[in-house]
Amino acid sequence: MGDPFYITTAISYPNGKPHIGHAYEAIAADVIARFQRQMGRDVRFQTGTDEHGLKMAQKARDLGTTPAALADEMSQYFIDMDAALNISYDVFQRTTEPRHHAASQELWRRMEANGDLYLDRYEGWYSVRDEAYYDESELVGGDSGEKLSPQGTPVEWTVEESWFFRLSAYQDRLLALLETDGFLRPESRRNEMIAFVKAGLRDLSISRTSFDWGVKVPGSDTHVMYVWIDALTNYLTGLGFPDEGADFARFWPCDLHLIGKDITRFHTIYWPAFLMSAGIAVPRQVFSHGFLLNRGQKESKSLGNVTDPIELADRFGVDTLRYFLMREVAFGQDGSYSPDAIVTRANAELANSFGNLAQRTLSMIFKNLDGDLKPFQTAEVDDALHVLVATACGSELPKAFQALDFSNGIEAWMRAVYACNQYVDEQAPWSLRKTDPERMRIVLQTLFIAVRDLAIAIRAVVPASADKLLDQLGVPSGERDFAALADADWYGRLVASEFRVAQPVGVFPRLELPAETD
Ligand code: ME8
């Protein structure tokens, strides 16, 4: 078994249906998980829903239902979205599960035992939408002079008895952690967090008494935990904590928490401080991705531009959507999407370039060689193509993906696809058919090998399509990872197995540009 690799997404608030931001994060995490599996790692991939807190309680009240019923109903939409997007998670953790309450209470007890919790009174500006208290100095003015959080959400002056966490005691350790290379990426976010810690950390209010939709504070029944304490603990719950058994021992500390930029503070300051207090190792890396915008605008109900990611996947194809998001957006930065951009990208790269290459190659082998593959001797030009493709697929793409630089990894792959298409045009196998059938055979078989390499390399991004293609290429399902890619004997085994190329079925359809261009 390979080395363990534990990756998590943020757990989503199920107070509404999933939006494109949720889909983006799930897809990015899934591409990483699948890529690491292809690299031979023993991957544990966790996602879930964050079901407590005032936001959920208020939404349930508005709808005339209970928070528990709302959570049950809405978390199913996230499970359905993951199924629709082919998200290969191992654990879907819901925070209303009893085992999660037990895990959160144990974390609390450990922090208390370490002397980091104390009871006091809290007065401050609370944003229900962000589930966070803000300092007066952080607030911004709204259009009609009202006070808003730095995220632009309404805040209320709140006074209550509260448990506090001694965050101020962790300032130096947190600074050292943030300065550790690779803990928080991208760099711009790391600088922001370092500046935040350097400005001085205040103790954190971590319980509420004004409502009861949450995890009860051990020994303090009128208090429920601040929702972020229990939310962050989900990453431990899924591994069986407080039982520090096999899963916990194998997968903790987490290799990668993948989150959006708006919740970086919670994951790189509060969370490591809680863990340090409880005597638990901190995660190895947090990556905070950018926001996805709809034609450059944030989606919101009032703008009427909220997109259902399942509809997008139905309309353009799951793999098209996955490919577009990973290719188009420089990972870590904000990105924009529109139906036109999806169609243009998918047609240019998947349908016209890679899909066309695969389709041409397989149908020429089917028609001209009776689908029959043989061992063959290459010329210099064939070897050059082989080296170029093998380098892009076996080295450039995985190196970029390892660094979470997906757009550049895919670009290297695309360059190899273009080189193959250029090779087809230059070698013109269709005209060799009469003049030099043996040379035609060599060209087509060289292309067959290139298509196989390209399909394996892009498999994490477009898993269903790549597998459909690899099935047509006769590549066994156990030989589709990066070790298999580097195995020089596979072609010989395939030939010996008497596999024959059948009439190919197109894998990447050409899409129509949407009629409406508003
Ligand atoms: O923040 N583009 O939940 P959430 C990209 N429950 N990513 C986006 C986005 C967008 N437009 N909008 C949101 C929460 N996200 C908490 C997390 S973790 C212990 C608790 C990202 O449903 C967002 O940054 O508001 C977060 O990573 C995830 O979607 C869930 O957001």
Domain-embedded: residue 453: yes
Q: Which residues pair with 124 in a beta bridge?
A: 158
Give CA separation, 117 vs 165, 172, 177, 202, 224, in Å: 5, 19, 22, 13, 14
The protein residue with its alpha carbon nearest to ligand 1, atom 18, reads 10
Q: Write the CATH number for 468.
A: 1.10.730.10
pLDDT of res. 516: 60
| Rounded distance from Cα 18 to ligand 1 centre (Å) | 10
Domain-embedded: residue 443: yes
| Rounded distance from Cα 14 to ligand 1 centre (Å) | 11
Tell me the Cα Rg of the chain: 26
Is 263's C-beta closer than 6 angstroms to any atom of ligand 1?
yes
Instruction: Tell me the three-class secondary structure of 434-448, residue by residue.
Output: HHCHHHHHHHHHHHH
Residue with tokens 């962790």, as numbered in its chain? 170
Among 159, 172, 256, 244, CA closest to 210 = 159
Q: Are 505 and 358 in contact (CB under 8 A)?
A: no
| Rounded distance from Cα 12 to ligand 1 centre (Å) | 6
From 8, 12, 128, the mutation candidate for ligand 1 (largest count of ligand atoms within 8 A of CB) is: 12
The protein residue with its alpha carbon nearest to ligand 1, atom 11, reads 21
Domain-embedded: residue 332: no
Question: How many CB atoms lie under 10 A from the CB of residue 123?
Answer: 12
pLDDT of res. 211: 85
Q: Is 305 helix (H, G, I), strand (E, B) or coil?
A: coil
Write out pLDDT tens, residues 54-98.
889 999 999 999 999 999 999 999 999 999 999 999 999 999 999
Write out pLDDT tens, residues 275-306.
999 999 999 999 999 999 988 888 876 777 88
Domain-embedded: residue 416: yes
The protein residue with its alpha carbon nearest to ligand 1, atom 31, reads 12
| Rounded distance from Cα 263 to ligand 1 centre (Å) | 7
Residue 347 DSSP class: I
Is 260's C-beta closer than 6 angstroms to any atom of ligand 1?
yes
268 confidence band (pLDDT: 50, 70, 90): very high
| Rounded distance from Cα 257 to ligand 1 centre (Å) | 12
pLDDT of res. 206: 96
Average pLDDT over residues 125-150: 89
Residue type, 431: S
Range of the domain at 454: 348-497
| Rounded distance from Cα 9 to ligand 1 centre (Å) | 9
pLDDT at 517 over 80: no
Tell me how many degrees the CA angle 185-253-232 measures, rounded to the nearest 5.
Answer: 75
| Rounded distance from Cα 11 to ligand 1 centre (Å) | 8
The protein residue with its alpha carbon nearest to ligand 1, atom 26, reads 260
Among 323, 319, 348, CA closest to 510 = 348
| Rounded distance from Cα 464 to ligand 1 centre (Å) | 26
Distance of CA 414 to the CA centre of its chain: 21
Q: Are 497 and 486 in contact (CB under 8 A)?
A: no
Domain-embedded: residue 409: yes
Question: For helices 98-113 and 227-237, what crossing angle results, to 10°?
Answer: 110
Q: Which atom of ligand 1 is nearest to the CA of 232?
A: 19
Write out pLDDT tens, residues 318-377.
999 999 999 999 999 999 999 999 999 999 999 999 999 999 999 999 999 999 999 999
From 22, 55, 151, 235, the mutation candidate for ligand 1 (largest count of ligand atoms within 8 A of CB) is: 22
The protein residue with its alpha carbon nearest to ligand 1, atom 3, reads 12
Domain-embedded: residue 511: no
Is 42's C-beta closer than 6 angstroms to any atom of ligand 1?
no
The protein residue with its alpha carbon nearest to ligand 1, atom 7, reads 21
Q: Which residues pair with 117 in a beta bridge?
A: 165
Residue type, 374: K
Write out pLDDT tens, residues 194-243.
999 999 999 999 999 988 999 999 999 999 999 999 999 999 999 999 99
pLDDT of res. 123: 87
pLDDT of res. 389: 98
Is 24's C-beta closer than 6 angstroms to any atom of ligand 1?
yes
* Percentage of residues in the chain having pLDDT higher than 90: 89
From 50, 229, 308, the mutation candidate for ligand 1 (largest count of ligand atoms within 8 A of CB) is: 50
Average pLDDT over residues 1-7: 96
| Rounded distance from Cα 175 to ligand 1 centre (Å) | 25
Cis peptide before 253 (omega within 30 of 0): yes
Angstrom distance (rounded) from CA 402 to CA 60: 42
| Rounded distance from Cα 291 to ligand 1 centre (Å) | 9
| Rounded distance from Cα 284 to ligand 1 centre (Å) | 20
Write out pLDDT tens, residues 88-133.
999 999 999 999 999 999 999 999 999 999 999 988 899 988 888 8
Number of domains in the chain: 1
Write out pLDDT tens, residues 382-430.
999 999 999 999 999 999 999 999 999 999 999 999 999 999 999 999 9
Is 25's C-beta closer than 6 angstroms to any atom of ligand 1?
yes
Domain-embedded: residue 437: yes
Among 210, 194, 192, CA closest to 54 = 210
